[in-house]
Each structure stands twice: as structure tokens, then as C-alpha cells.
């Protein structure tokens, strides 16, 4: 079976502008293409899993999401990075106004359907895979899919949406493979590693692999 890194899109692969869909808003931070190349070199499949409720809310169309995803991949490749193995999008939200997307679904993270579907298609063993995201919903999704979650957040701000009962026990300094790694502990779920950039998170993954 294959192994994968499931990657959140906005805030991980490109700068999150809120609802990010205009091609003019596509900014891929330094280090992202290189990090993806390293993951690929480690033999991991690259699967993007992204919530795009703006479709259900009528802010943009699925075709806009597809165009943005294609532009993102092109930019990564232009800068020497690899292609993605799959890009999975959830366009739903129950508060939306646009049918057929204005529904509760099983694919919106922390739902695991995007990961499960990708895993079935690419023969991925989730229990030996990673989920990297910048929100708690990404972390929960990782836990629920039995993948190892890694949170990427600016350690200085620690502004992510922690649910009740979750606390950061070692938010700064000394995380292995990271300048500012730490561990968040959830009573319900377990330990979550936190890094301040995708590059740091990927260094950690590479360390675990070697």
C-alpha cells in the first residue's frame, strides 16, 4: 500500500485570503515547492484536501476552484516542485444558498470522506500517512482518518481554533526538526505536533522517515 501526506490547501500551500479563489490572490510561500519535492522523494503521495464552502455560499463556482487548483499546481511546478497526486475539494456547507452544495456532507473536514476516497483510489494506508493543516478541523480530520496530524501555525500567535479541552503544553522551542515546534495535547484525541511553517513540518516528517 502507498503512504501519503494529506495537505490542506489555504494557509499551507498558498496564502489564505479568507475565501481564496481569485488567481490574482494566488501566493505560494517560499519553501513550499521544495517541501513538496522532499515529500515526494520520501515516496509519499501528495493529496490536497480542501474545504471550499464559498461554492455553497455563492461566492465562487466549482470551475473557479478548479482553475485556482490548476494555477497552484502550475506555480509549484514552475518553481521546481512536483505535481499533486490528487486534489480533493469539498464545496459544501449547510448554511449555503447554492444547490446542490448547501447540504451537510461527510466530506467537509473534519469529515474524512475526502481522505477515504483518495485512499481508496490511490491505495493509501492512512494509518501510515500524515495530515498537515493550519486549523483544528484539519487535525481532527487527521485523527478521525487515523492519519498522523501535524498543525502548521505561527507559534507566536497560536491563533488557531482550539476546541475546549485542548491545550498547548509546549508551544515553543526545541521541537525535534523544528525551530519552534511544540506539542498540543487533547484529552479526546492525543498529541499534536505544531510547527510554524510547512518547511519545518516536512523536516519533521523527513526525520521520522530516516
Q: Which residues bind Zn ion (CB under 5 A)?
A: 90, 92, 105, 107-108
| Minimum distance, C-beta of residue 8 to Zn ion, in the bound complex (Å) | 15
Task: Report if residue 10 touches Mg ion, rule: CB under 5 A.
Answer: yes
| Minimum distance, C-beta of residue 95 to Zn ion, in the bound complex (Å) | 13
Whether the CB-CB separation of 176 and 204 falls below 8 Å is answered with: yes
The option from Zn ion, Mg ion, none interacting with 149 (CB < 5 to 8 A, set by class) reads none
The option from Zn ion, Mg ion, none interacting with 108 (CB < 5 to 8 A, set by class) reads Zn ion
Helix (H) or strand (E) holding 78: helix 62-78
Q: Could you give the string, one character per residue 132-161, with x where binding to Mg ion holds by CB under 5 A and - elsewhere?
A: --x---------------------------
Whether the CB-CB separation of 134 and 175 falls below 8 Å is answered with: no
The option from Zn ion, Mg ion, none interacting with 10 (CB < 5 to 8 A, set by class) reads Mg ion
| Minimum distance, C-beta of residue 12 to Mg ion, in the bound complex (Å) | 6
The option from Mg ion, Zn ion, none interacting with 11 (CB < 5 to 8 A, set by class) reads Mg ion
Whether the CB-CB separation of 16 and 68 falls below 8 Å is answered with: no
Note the helical H segments in 101-173: 113-122, 136-144
- Region of 198 please: left (phi>0), alpha (psi -120 to 50) or beta: alpha
| Minimum distance, C-beta of residue 107 to Zn ion, in the bound complex (Å) | 3
Name which of 11 and 111 has its Cβ closer to Mg ion. Answer: 11
Radius of gyration of the chain (CA): 16
How many beta carbons lie within 10 A of that of residue 173, not counting itself?
Answer: 11
The option from Mg ion, Zn ion, none interacting with 124 (CB < 5 to 8 A, set by class) reads none
Name which of 48 and 107 has its Cβ closer to Zn ion. Answer: 107
Name which of 25 and 128 has its Cβ closer to Mg ion. Answer: 25
Closest Cα partner for 14 from 32, 5, 27? 27
> Given candidates 3, 5, 7, 11, which one binds Mg ion under the rule CB under 5 A?
11
Closest Cα partner for 157 from 174, 171, 140, 143? 171
Whether the CB-CB separation of 196 and 179 falls below 8 Å is answered with: yes
Return residues touching Mg ion (CB under 5 A): 8, 10-11, 134
Amino acid at each position: 500500500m502507498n503512504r501519503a501526506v494529506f495537505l490542506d490547501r489555504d494557509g499551507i500551500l498558498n496564502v489564505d485570503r479568507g475565501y481564496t479563489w481569485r488567481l490574482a490572490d494566488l501566493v505560494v510561500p517560499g519553501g513550499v515547492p521544495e517541501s513538496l519535492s522532499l515529500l515526494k522523494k520520501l515516496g509519499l503521495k501528495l493529496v490536497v484536501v480542501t474545504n471550499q464552502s464559498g461554492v455553497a455560499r455563492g461566492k465562487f463556482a466549482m470551475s473557479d476552484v478548479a482553475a485556482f487548483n490548476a494555477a497552484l499546481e502550475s506555480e509549484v511546478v514552475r518553481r521546481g516542485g512536483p505535481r499533486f497526486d490528487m486534489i480533493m475539494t469539498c464545496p459544501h456547507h449547510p448554511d449555503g444558498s447554492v444547490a446542490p452544495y448547501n447540504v451537510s456532507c461527510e466530506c467537509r473536514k473534519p469529515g474524512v470522506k475526502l481522505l477515504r476516497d483518495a485512499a481508496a483510489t490511490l491505495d493509501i494506508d492512512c494509518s501510515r500517512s500524515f495530515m498537515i493543516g493550519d486549523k483544528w478541523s484539519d487535525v481532527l480530520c487527521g485523527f478521525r482518518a487515523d492519519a498522523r496530524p501535524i498543525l502548521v501555525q505561527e507559534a507566536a500567535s497560536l491563533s488557531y481554533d482550539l476546541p475546549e479541552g485542548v491545550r498547548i503544553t509546549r508551544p515553543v522551542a526545541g521541537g525535534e526538526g523544528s525551530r519552534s515546534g511544540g506539542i498540543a495535547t487533547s484529552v479526546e484525541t492525543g498529541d499534536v505536533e505544531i510547527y510554524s511553517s510547512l518547511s519545518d513540518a516536512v523536516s519533521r516528517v523527513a526525520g521520522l522517515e530516516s
